[in-house]
């Protein structure tokens, strides 16, 4: 069965990302069309790029990198849940991505962004980075606004149409993940 990792890209105390990630995961699991896992960067505690060799070498020295490599290598595709901080993605998400190279290659990804402007600039930045890693980002994405999908900017209460957006994005992530399995083979 196709395996999709739903990556919560924020570790900030009081973050909205955990609620959003769990919501996406719950919607995904209901579909029954793939194996969906929630991957919380808060649980990984990756330091800032402490490997002595570049990720493209595939030579990892630290246990946290080896564990992260095994986790990411096991997925066929991803959904990144990212807030927008200062018009970009969080540094912790960029660091987690930069730790690896080949493990990301020839897989598909969708983005669920959230923020004042729906996280669109963080999603755009993330798509550029993923493109460099040979990750095919899908066209459908989810934009959650702190104004309309959160009460008092903190309590997650997505508008009803957002569920359709998640399902459209997941349809594309699954289609592309399955298609790229031939490339990975």
How do the domains of the chain map onto residue ranges?
3-184
pLDDT of residue 38: 98
Reported as a single tens digit per residue, the pLDDT across 106-153 is 999 999 999 999 999 999 999 999 999 999 999 999 999 999 999 999
Dist CA 51 CA 63 (whole Å): 10
Q: What's the pLDDT band for 156 if we cut at 50, 70, 90? A: very high
pLDDT of residue 91: 96
Reported as a single tens digit per residue, the pLDDT across 61-110 is 999 999 999 999 999 999 999 999 999 999 999 999 999 999 999 999 99
Instruction: Fill in the DSSP letter of residue 84.
Output: -
pLDDT of residue 114: 97
Q: What's the pLDDT band for 157 if we cut at 50, 70, 90? A: very high
Dist CA 34 CA 99 (whole Å): 26
Its CATH architecture, for the domain 3-184, is 3-Layer(aba) Sandwich (3.40)
Instruction: Fill in the DSSP letter of residue 88.
Output: B
Cα torsion angle, 173, 175, 178, 181, sign: negative
Dist CA 78 CA 43 (whole Å): 17
Closest CA to 134 of 104, 167, 173, 93: 104
pLDDT of residue 160: 96
What does the pLDDT average to over 51-58?
95
């Amino acid at each position: 069965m196709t395996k999709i990792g739903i990556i919560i890209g924020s570790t900030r105390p009081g973050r909205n990302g955990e609620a959003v990630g769990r919501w996406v995961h719950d919607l995904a699991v209901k579909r029954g069309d793939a194996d969906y896992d929630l991957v919380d960067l808060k649980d990984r505690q990756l330091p800032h790029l402490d490997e002595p060799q570049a990720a493209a070498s595939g030579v990892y020295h630290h246990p946290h990198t080896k564990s992260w490599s095994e986790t990411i290598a096991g997925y066929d595709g991803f959904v990144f849940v990212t807030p927008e901080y200062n018009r970009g993605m969080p540094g912790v998400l960029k660091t987690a991505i930069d730790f690896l190279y080949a493990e990301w290659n020839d897989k598909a990804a969708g983005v669920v962004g959230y923020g004042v402007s729906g996280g669109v600039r963080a999603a755009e930045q993330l798509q550029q980075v993923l493109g460099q890693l040979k990750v095919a980002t899908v066209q459908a994405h989810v934009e959650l606004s702190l104004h309309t999908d959160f009460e008092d900017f903190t309590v997650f209460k997505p508008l009803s149409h957002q569920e359709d957006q998640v399902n459209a994005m997941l349809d594309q992530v699954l289609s592309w993940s399955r298609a790229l399995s031939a490339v990975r083979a």
